[in-house]
Each structure stands twice: as structure tokens, then as C-alpha cells.
Amino acid sequence: MNTTLDSGRAPLLQARGLTKHFGAVTACDAIDLTIAPGEIHALLGENGAGKSTFVKMLFGALEPSAGSINWQGKRVEIDNPAAARRLGIGMVFQHFSLFDALTAAENILLSLDTDEPPSSVAERAREVSNAYGLPLDPYAHVGDLSVGERQRIEIVRCLLQDPQLIILDEPTSVLTPQEADRLFETLERLRAEGRSILYISHRLEEVKRICDSATVLRQGKVVGHCDPSKETAASLARLMVGDEVEGARRQPKPVEAGRRPLLHVKNLNRPAAHPFAVTLHDIDLTVHENEILGIAGVAGNGQGELFEAISGEATQDQPSVIQLCGTEAGLLDISKRRRLGAAFVPEERLGHAAAPNLPLSLNLLLSRHQTDGRAYIGSAGFIRNSALARAAARICEAMDVRKGAADPAASSLSGGNLQKFVIGRELDRSPSVLVVNQPTWGVDAGAAARIRNALIALARSGSAVLVISQDLDELFEISDAICVMHHGHLSRPVPIEEATFEKIGLLMGGSDASEPGILEETA
Amino acid sequence: MLESILITIATAATPLLIAAMGELVVERSGVLNLGVEGMMVMGAITGFAVALSTGSPWLGVLAAVVVGAAFSLLFGFLTLTLVTNQVATGLALTLFGLGLSGMLGEGFVGRPGVKMANLDIPVLSDIPFIGRLLFGQDPIFYLSILLTISVAYFLFSTRAGLKLRAVGDNHASAHAQGINVIAIRYGAVMFGGACAGLAGAYLSLVYTPQWVENMTAGRGWIALALVVFASWRPWRVVAGAYLFGGVTIGQLHAQAQGVGIPSQLLSSLPYLATIAVLVIISRNRRLTLMNTPASLGRPFVPDR
Amino acid sequence: MRLELVRRPRQSALFSVLSPFIALALTLIAGAIMFAFLGKNPVTALYYFFIEPLLEVWSLHELAVKAAPLILIGVGLSICYLSNNWNIGAEGQFIIGAITGSILPILFPEWQNAFVLPLMLLMGMLGGAAYASIPAFLKARFSTNEILTSLMLVYVAQLFLDWLVRGPWRNPEGFNFPESRNFHADAILPEILPASGRAHWGFAFAIIAAVLLWFVLAKTLKGFEVKVIGQSPRAGRFGGFSRARMIMFAFLVSGALAGLAGISEVSGAIGQLRPTISPGYGFTAIIVAFLGRLNPLGIVAAGLVLALSYLGGEAAQISIGVSDKVARAFQGMLLFFVLACDMLIHYRVRLVRSPVRDATAFEGVEKNA
């Protein structure tokens, strides 16, 4: 199986039979992987394939249940991240491992095993960041920085340790296309310096573009090694997913489709509710019947705040700011907005869309006790458990939710299955307006396709659908038009026929001359 | 007159300062230990009993520190190793401490205690007015100032302090960085326990050298409130502790003068002041959110 | 060797039932050790503590007298704790309820008729609820920490009661003792079975309250709301439930029940106001709530157990000469064990031998599902 060592040089790192069990679940099953010096090696696999678990073992953050690691030909035990760093392994985490309350320099200092004063660390950080074109302010508090800036801190922190191997876990998932390009330049420079990079991704195009070799994981097992430049995106996808997964198909809107606006947001302003929140400025948007409007943007630009404002979790001062199906709803709370025919799916599945320890049937009640009250709640407020259980079973059936028990707690479902349930719960009502934040975040390919198709089907049946997503591929797949959020401003919609990655990417970075509002903000 | 009032304010403030400083370190590491009252009252009875039976107040203090730390270890084992709810476990610690100290202290009720002698620093204590106030106090008073300086230095100027703050800010990130979250928290919790024990011993060996059941009278809880009031900054704890010392002594003097206000109402002033202070602080939501250690009170189970 | 917790895929139903019993057993073992240290025969001591009080009918009545406030307060607290509101000031709400409930018999002793008692109970509930509404309002309006405010108010209530019975409400015919006047016959909560012992209707109120709240929690939308907001405030908001209203609801219900407990205790068991009317019922009820696993029916059983520890303390003091303070130490210990054992519901405990790789699991009784 080991095909990557054509260069004949001694491998930098070799993992042999690396295995990790979590209780009864095997996250990684005897994984072999070899990284040569000076190569960018891709670790490919869809969500839940075991990529993150595997690299955490390489970095000493998780303890392998079995298997061995060789570093520069010698067998090593990597008990903790400090040991990994001593060997020369650095890691840039997907969900950054930074401390919001500390400064950039303090964050960097924590991962260095020296007793340097913060000022000298700050100085070195500045040097490294200038050398690699990753500008950062060492004295800024991380909590105040954007995701792109945070990633720079992580990379600079990693580089200060002069690593031989840098592990990057889904680094582009939080970047605009242009920021990703700059990252690739940095990575190529590092490769030229003779360092190796283990690049984790499920984005095939970028793997094809920058990686020298690839290892593909599926369900915790290695299913192949290959040279990505010699593969097609389709062949890589087949390796990753197994069977051919049918992508969502956006049929063009019927020409004679109605254009009645069902969701209308007019001049929405919302001050930041807490120190880490984003202020919303003058947001206007309209979603018509039969239409899916996508909202792109880098995380933390006000998408969550916009969702709360539309859902009514945060209400407005003026009734006219939000209109649902022709009714002014700005003053109404979320239950009343639901009764007007709207439905909502927030980004966070556990703890926002669902109460973790309650069974699915009661989680069904969570969003529907006001809209279908009489079906599920008897006189004097008694809950009709059997009706709820039947409805929950119906939704699981319709969305193919796989579960271990008849009515399990929400937290016992996998992310993809819970997301299918949460979306199915709203679709089951046939809402006139559906607002979804990150519909397929962290969801496996099969579930994602099912969810996207369901959203398209809902729109084609006459509803208005608003999809907020960081995943540009997804938005291009399903939207009829795309707006971009940046710093709490929303761009005008770009019809899908005119939208390109380039154009949307520029808007995500906040720089497009045709959008005066955005220019003011970045100036 | 004013000088003696100021000196007594220092005596009333010192136990609050010590207990709150310990809890500040605990909370900075992300752990909420509501058992300060229980650890403090255990420190009070231990200090009193040991000092009485050995004749040495210093042995009493030492024993109180050890018992306070041991008691906090119990809390640490439950919340850190067994991941129990921190609020409930802290309450348990307080209830257990109050019960156990009452049981152990039964034979000591009404017996005259050992008072720790003042430590006058030569020359300096003769400076008019501030001399006695700053340099003619009991030894633990000096210790409390030293403690404040050390905690402030530790938290903001040492690598270990940085790690502790990092753990309190985001324990998952700290774990991913290879910082031993649980070990640091055990250390912080035990430091807090030792401080609470010391504060308790101060009550029964300096403030009022005797043993009375429940003699802490809510001071452990006030110390907890002081940490919030100080928004987790060591020097603001000093300000808060002396403010409360002032209120306590002020109402005692008012009682002694017989100002015509019922003594019970005056006695309830420190408690009412605590509520008032908490309300004032919490009204500024931005300040609270910016300063509260982000992991405070959240359970942490490392994945291995 | 080190201890490692493995999260169960779902809560263990077995340990949800077993854990309070394991905790009780561990407390008894620890108690036996404690008695041995005190130089008493552990078996005799435990017998006097936990068996003897159950052997006489009058003593069972006393059990009911002590259990009544514990259960009343405990079920109220369960609503608070389930909804993540940490009311630890029930002792203060108990005292204030006792005071407001006593207004009629103390200030208007001549007004004697059948309306007095119901009005007293109502006023007691209102007083307790009003006092609980202070920390609730501060939390809902300013996010002030309710743990500290509710507790501070306990001290204030105790001092207020002390002032009342030594000052304005002191019995004019009471030889300067710090006591209020004795309640007249119409203001006394009657005994349930006067022939056999002292148990008063407070115990019946406790059972009624427990059953009622069990229904609310287990079967109604309100109970659902309590649980959702307690588990996840954001999910609660998404469900359209108001956090502020839940704070008020939880505190008002628990305050009213604590107030009812207070006035029942004063008018049923004591018959007048004194500087101290509670041996810490409001705090012991916290233990009761957790031992009952925050389930109102479980709390009935837990209230009886903790009431027994009070009685046992008194009995043991008389028969073997250990302090009745032992009971308080027992109670605190019990809460520790309850909390530690509840962990078994969510986690499996494994003992791992270092070096790391060969983990051995001690999985207890249950097979991993």
C-alpha cells in the first residue's frame, strides 16, 4: 500500500497500525501513513472519517489504543503535545486552540517550552510573521480578532517552534478564497524550505492543487494512497465517500413562478448584545416564494446575530423591520413568528436547536408547542407523549434519521443524524418561510446531500428559504441568489447566473467597489 | 480614636482578604468553589483547638492551613476527578464543614483561647499615625499583604500564572496545548483551601480568640462576593476587603455608641452591602463578561 | 493506577435508581468509622441513630413533623435546581414566611375565627414568595448572582426575626423572654391524628405539594419548560420560553413553599415565634433535593431519611452521649456521597494501570449498551 516513498529519502514520519477506540466506537482502525520530508501530504476524508482523531494522536493530544509512530526512523512515544513539539511536530487546529482572554504573544508563549519574557516572544513573533507575510499584532487580545487573524497566530506560533512537520486541520474552512490563496503561498514556501505538511481537508480542488500525495480515510480506515494531481475530483470523491453520492441538483426556477415576497427584512440595525457580538448595520433582504437566498460570509461577521434577529430570539423595536408572509413581525417573539408560518434551524445543533439530554420526541415539542399545540398538548397543559412519539418517528422515517433506540436523547445521535432530525422537524410543518444557519456543517456527505435536496424541494413547493452558510460550494449548489455578510453589513444579492467564486470571495473579504457600504466599513 | 478604628478595620478585612485571594486563584483557574465558608470554619476550629492544646498559635495556624487544604482536596476530588456539579459540591463542602466543626468544637465552646501576639516592626511602628496601622499589626496582617503581592506577581508575571489563566479561559484549548488542566486546577483548589483555612484561623486566633459555632457568620460567602466585586483582580480584592472591613467595624461602633438603630439592623449591614455591591457590579454586564474566566464552573473531562 | 471516566452513550437507568442507595450505604459506613473514632461502638451507635427512632409510634409522628418542612422546601428547590436557578436562601424564605404568617395571631390576637388559619398559611406563602422574589428579580433584571444574594438574605432574615421577638413582637406577658405571644387555638395547625402523636397537617401539605409538582414536572408543558431551560438556556429561548419568567416562576414557587413550611412549623410544631425556629431546615432541604434526585416523589423519601437523621441525633445524644451535632456532619457527608454517586449515571469508571496502553475496564454491574 505504501506508495509515497518514490523519492528514496528516509521518511520523516511513519504511522503503523494506529488505532483509537472511544468506548465501543473505533474512530481510527489500524491506520498506516508515511510522510516524506519536504512534501505536502493530504489526509482526505469526509466528516467523521477519523482524520481529526488520527492527527490528534500524532500530536500527542490523544493516546492511541494501538499502533506505533516512527519519527525520522526511530520509534517514538508521543505522550503529550509538548513531546510532539520537542520532536518538531507543530499543529494548527481546526477549532483554534487559542485563549481569547490572552494576548497573541501570551498565546504563543504558552506553546513554547522556554521561559522567555513575553516581550522577546512578541519580537520574535513579529519577525516570523513579517518573514512569512502573516502580519499580526502581538499585543492584541485574541478575543478581538477575526478568524483569519487567529489562524495567523496559530501558524506563527507553530513556526516559532521551527517544526519539521506542520499539521493543518481543515485550514481553509474559515477563510475567504483569496485568504486561502495566500495560505497556499505560505505553505509552498514552507515546503521549499524542506518542511513537511500534513494537510487535512475534504475539499478536493485544493488538495489537487497543492498536495504531492494523499492518504484517503473512510470510516476510520485507510482506503487508498494516491497522487492527487493524477486523479480527478470525481475519482477522489469516490474514494472518500465510497459509493457515488448524488449531489444536490438545483433545477432552474420555473419561469412562471410566483414572486410574492414571504420574508422581508428592511433596514435592520442591531447593536452588539455583548462584548464579543457583531453589530448589524442597515440590513435589507427579501426572499420570495419559490426562492432560496444564500448568505455567504466568513464566520463571525454577524450571521448568528442576523439569525437571532430574524427568528425573533431577539426582537426589534419597529414592527416593520421584519415582515413574514405579509405581516409585520418585528415586535413578535419566536413563537408568534412561527405561528405566521416561519421555521428556523440555528447553527448549533446541541444546546440551541435541541436540548441534549431530552429525547427526540420532546425535542420535537421544543419548536412546535405553539404551532401544533393542540396536537401535542392536551387540556390543562398535559403533554401527549404518544402523539409526540408518532410524530418523531414520522420525521425520522422521512429524513432517514439513524438512531440506536426508539426515542433516544438528542445527544446520543451523530451530528449528521441530529441535523437531519432538526431540519425534518421544521419541514414536517411545511413552513412558508425557512431560515437555516449552516445546514450541513460537520455533516457527512450522504446526510448533506439529503438536507440540500430537501431544502430545494421546499423552495420549489412554494416556500421562501434563507440559507446562511460558510460553505461556498453548498451555496452555489442550491441558491438562486447569494448575498455576502461582512462586518455586520449585507451585500446586495448576486443572482446565481452572475455569481463566481472570485466575486463572492472578494465580497467576503470586504473589498468590492460596487458595494459602497462595505468599502466604508473597511476603510 | 481614628487610628484604633483603622487598625480594627484591618483586622476585620484581613480574613476576608485572605479567603478571597485564595478563591480568586481558584476561580482564575476556572473552578467555582462555593465551599469557602466550610473550609474557613474548619480552619477556625482547627486553629483554635491546636493552639489551645499546644499553646502555640503558630502551630494552630499551620494546622488550619493543612486542614483547609485537605478539605479543598475533597472538593477537588469530586469536581475535578469525578466531575460533579461544582455549585452543589461547594454547597456540600460548606454544609459538611459547618456540621463537622460544630461537632468537633463542642468541647471548646466558652473556653478562653490563645491570641496571636502583634508583631511590631521596630522603628517603623513608631512613625506617628501610620506607624501602628502599617507596622504594628499581627503577623498574619503582613502575610495577607505579602499574599496579595505574590498572587498578583504569580498570575501576571510568571509562566505558571499564565498557564493557570489559560486553563481558566479555555480548558479545551489548554488541554490541546498539552497543559495539564486537572493538575493545575488541583493546585489552585488546594491553594484556595489553604487560604480559607488561614482566614478561619485568623478569626479564632486574632479577631476574636474563642470558638463559637458558625463563627465565620457568612464571611466565606462575602469573600466569594468580593472576588466578583474585584472582577478577578488581586488589588481590587484588597479594596473590597477593606471596604467591607469598614462597614463591619462601622456598624459595630455604631452599636457601641447606641445610635438608636436596632443592633440587628446594623448587624445586617454587611450582608445588605454585599447584595448592593453585587447588583452594582452586575449591572455593568460588559465588565462582568470581559473579566469572568470563561471556563468558570464548567466541567472538564479530557478525552484521551 | 489512575481513575478514568468514560461517558456512557446514554444515562444509566440502573444507576439513576441505585445511586442514592449507594450514597446512603457509603454514608453509613463513613458514619460507623466516625463513631469508632469517637470511641463508640459503631453498631450500637448506628442502631440508636437510625433504627430506634422508627420503633415507637410517637417517634414516627416526630419524623413526620421534621420531614414536613424538609419535603416542602425540597420540592420547591427541585424546580429551582432543575431550571438552573441556585436558590440557596430557602432558610431565609422559611423565616420570612413564618413571620408574615404570624402577623394575625401576634398583632391581632383578639381576631379568633375559622378564617385565621387559612389566611395565615396564605400570608406565609406570600411572604416566602416575596422574599424569594428579591434574588429572582436581581438575577432576571441585572444578572446578579442569585447564589450569593439569596444566601445573604438568610442572615438578614435571621437578624430581622431576632429583632422582632426581642423588640416589637415580644410577648408582653412573657417575663422578658425573647419570644412572641403564644398563638391562640384558632391559629394552631391541627394534628392529623391527635390521639397518637404530634404530626400536624404540614406533613399532608408536603405530600400534596410533592405529588402536584411531580405532575407538573413530569407531565406538563411547564415541566418541559423547566427542564429545557435548565439544560440549555439557548434551547429554551429557541423554544420561545422566557428565561426571566422562568427565574421568577422557580423562585416564587420555591419561596412560597418555603414560606408555607415556615408558617406550618411555627403554627403546627412551635406555637409561637422564637429567635431560632429552624435547625437549618432550609439548608438541609438542599441535601434532600439532591438525595431525591430532584424528583418530587424521590424528595418525599429523601425528606424522611434526613428527618430521621435529626431524630437520630437527638436519640443518640440521650442514649449514648454523642453530640446531636453529629447529625449535621452526617448530613453534609451524605450530600458528598450523593453527588459522587450521581456521576455513575453519566460515566463509567475505569481504573487504568499506568503505563498507558493496556487499559483494563472495571465496568461494574452493567454491560455497556
**What's the pLDDT at A512?**
56
Report the b/e string of C98-119 with b at 16+ CB within 10 A.
bbbbbebbbeeeeeeeeebbee
Question: Is C235's Cβ below 8 Å from some Cβ in A?
Answer: yes
Q: What is the mean pLDDT of chain B?
A: 91
Residues of A within 8 A of C6 (CB-CB) are 23
Residues of B within 8 A of A63 (CB-CB) are 304
State yes or no: pLDDT of B43 exceeds 80. Answer: yes
Report the residue of C156, C170, C288 to disrupt the B interface, i.e. the one with the largest count of B CBs within 10 Å. C156
**Cα–Cα dist B144/C126, whole Å:** 45
With left for phi above 0 and alpha for psi between -120 and 50, is residue A246 left, alpha or beta? beta
pLDDT digit string (tens) for chain A, length 523 residues: 444 444 456 899 999 999 998 877 788 999 999 999 999 999 988 877 888 889 989 998 888 999 999 999 899 999 888 899 999 999 988 776 889 889 999 999 988 877 788 888 888 888 888 888 788 888 998 888 887 888 888 889 888 888 999 999 888 877 888 888 888 999 999 999 999 999 998 788 888 889 999 999 988 899 989 898 888 878 888 888 776 555 556 666 666 667 899 999 999 999 988 777 889 999 999 999 999 999 999 888 899 999 999 999 999 999 999 999 999 999 999 999 999 999 999 999 989 999 998 999 999 999 999 888 788 988 878 999 999 999 999 999 999 888 878 888 898 888 888 999 999 999 999 999 999 999 988 787 888 888 999 999 999 999 999 999 988 889 999 999 999 999 899 999 999 999 988 889 888 887 654 444 433 333 3
Shortest CA distance from A111: residue in chain B: B177
Answer whether C151 sits within 8 Å of B92, measured CB to CB. Answer: no
Residues of A within 8 A of C219 (CB-CB) are 382-383
Proportion of chain C above pLDDT 70, given as a percent: 94
**Cα–Cα dist A199/A187, whole Å:** 10
Nearest to A377 among C221, C236, C240 (CB): C221
Question: Is B301's Cβ below 8 Å from some Cβ in A?
Answer: no
Assigned C-alpha cell, C201? 397537617
Report the residue of B159, B165, B231, B292 to disrupt the A interface, i.e. the one with the largest count of A CBs within 10 Å. B159
Nearest to C153 by CA among C258, C307, C223: C258
pTM of the model: 0.90
Shortest CA distance from C241: residue in chain A: A335
Q: Which residue bears the cell 492584541?
A: A140
Q: What phi and psi values does residue C204 have, to the nearest 5 degrees?
A: -65, -45
State yes or no: pLDDT of B62 exceeds 70. Answer: yes
State yes or no: pLDDT of B11 exceeds 80. Answer: yes
- List the strands of the sheet with A221-226, edge to edge: A89-92, A165-169, A196-201, A40-44, A213-218, A221-226
Q: Which residue bears the cell 467595624?
A: B249
Q: What is the ipTM of this complex?
A: 0.90
**What's the pLDDT at A519?**
37
3-state secondary structure of B174: helix
Q: What is the mean pLDDT of chain C?
A: 89
**What's the pLDDT at A246?**
58
CA of residue C106 relative to chain centroid, distance: 27
Give the closest-approach CA distance of A122 to chain C in angstroms: 37
pLDDT band at C127 (very low <50, low <70, confident <90, very high): very high
Report the residue of A97, A114, A276 to disrupt the B interface, i.e. the one with the largest count of B CBs within 10 Å. A97
Q: What phi and psi values does residue C54 have, to the nearest 5 degrees?
A: -95, 0
Question: Is C244's Cβ below 8 Å from some Cβ in A?
Answer: no
Contact B69, B197 (CB under 8 A): yes
Contact B177, B302 (CB under 8 A): no
**What's the pLDDT at A152?**
87
Axis-axis angle for helices C90-101, C57-82 (nearest 10): 120
Contact A462, A290 (CB under 8 A): yes
* Chain B residues 128-187 with a CB less than 8 Å from chain A: 159, 162-163, 165-166, 169-170, 172-179
Alpha helices in A340-484 (DSSP H): 360-368, 373-376, 385-399, 415-427, 445-460, 472-478
State yes or no: pLDDT of C362 exceeds 90. Answer: no
pLDDT band at C363 (very low <50, low <70, confident <90, very high): very low
Q: In angstroms, what CA-CA distances link A318 with A331, B93, B265?
A: 6, 50, 48
State yes or no: pLDDT of B86 exceeds 90. Answer: yes
Nearest to A366 among C220, C235, C368 (CB): C235
Answer whether B95 sits within 8 Å of C283, measured CB to CB. Answer: yes
**Cα–Cα dist A273/B257, whole Å:** 49
Residues of C within 8 A of A355 (CB-CB) are 227-228, 231-232, 235-236
**Cα–Cα dist A200/A222, whole Å:** 14
Answer whether B172 sits within 8 Å of A97, measured CB to CB. Answer: yes
Assigned C-alpha cell, A427? 419541514
Nearest to C259 by CA among C94, C106, C103: C94
Task: State which CATH number among 1.10.3470, 1.10.490, 3.30.450, 3.30.10 fits the domain covering B2-114+137-291.
Answer: 1.10.3470
**What's the pLDDT at A33?**
93
CA of residue A513 relative to chain centroid, distance: 28
Taking any CB pair shorter than 8 Å as contact, residues of chain A touching chain C are 23-24, 63-66, 79, 311, 313, 333-335, 338, 344, 346, 348, 350-358, 362, 365-367, 369-370, 377, 380-383, 404-405, 408-409, 412
Assigned C-alpha cell, A350? 446541541
Task: Kindly report whether the peptide bond that precedes residue A252 is cis, defined as omega within 30 degrees of 0.
Answer: no
Domain boundaries, chain C: 2-354
Note the pLDDT tens digit of each residue in C301-322.
999 999 999 998 888 888 888 7
3-state secondary structure C270-290: HCCCCCCCCCCHHHHHHHHHH
**What's the pLDDT at C40?**
85
Report the residue of C6, C339, C345, C349 to disrupt the B interface, i.e. the one with the largest count of B CBs within 10 Å. C339
At the topology level, CATH places domain C2-354 in ABC transporter involved in vitamin B12 uptake, BtuC (1.10.3470)
Residues C173-198 have a mean pLDDT of 90
**Cα–Cα dist B254/B247, whole Å:** 10
**Cα–Cα dist C66/C199, whole Å:** 9
Residues C74-97 have a mean pLDDT of 97
Shortest CA distance from C349: residue in chain B: B82
Sequence-ordered list of residues with C-beta below 8 angstroms from that of A17, at least 6 positions apart, any chain = A30, A31, A32, A66, A67, A68
Radius of gyration of chain C (CA): 22
Provide the 10 A C-beta neighbour count for residue C85.
Answer: 28
* Chain C residues 336-355 with a CB less than 8 Å from chain B: 336, 339-340, 342-343, 347
Nearest to B244 by CA among B191, B295, B289, B199: B199
Residues of A within 8 A of B179 (CB-CB) are 110
Answer whether C357 sits within 8 Å of A352, measured CB to CB. Answer: no
**Cα–Cα dist C303/B236, whole Å:** 43
Answer whether C235 sits within 8 Å of A367, measured CB to CB. Answer: no
Report the residue of C229, C238, C345 to disrupt the A interface, i.e. the one with the largest count of A CBs within 10 Å. C238
Assigned C-alpha cell, B130? 501610620
Residues of B within 8 A of A272 (CB-CB) are none
Sequence-ordered list of residues with C-beta below 8 angstroms from that of A421, at least 6 positions apart, any chain = A354, A360, A363, A395, A396, A399, A401, A410, A413
**Cα–Cα dist C178/C167, whole Å:** 8
Residues of B within 8 A of A160 (CB-CB) are none
Question: Is C9's Cβ below 8 Å from some Cβ in A?
Answer: yes
Sequence-ordered list of residues with C-beta below 8 angstroms from that of A237, at least 6 positions apart, any chain = A204, A245
**What's the pLDDT at C354?**
52
CA triple B159-B161-B162, angle to 5 deg: 65
**Cα–Cα dist C104/B143, whole Å:** 54
Question: Is C343's Cβ below 8 Å from some Cβ in A?
Answer: no
Shortest CA distance from A364: residue in chain C: C239
Residue type, A414: S
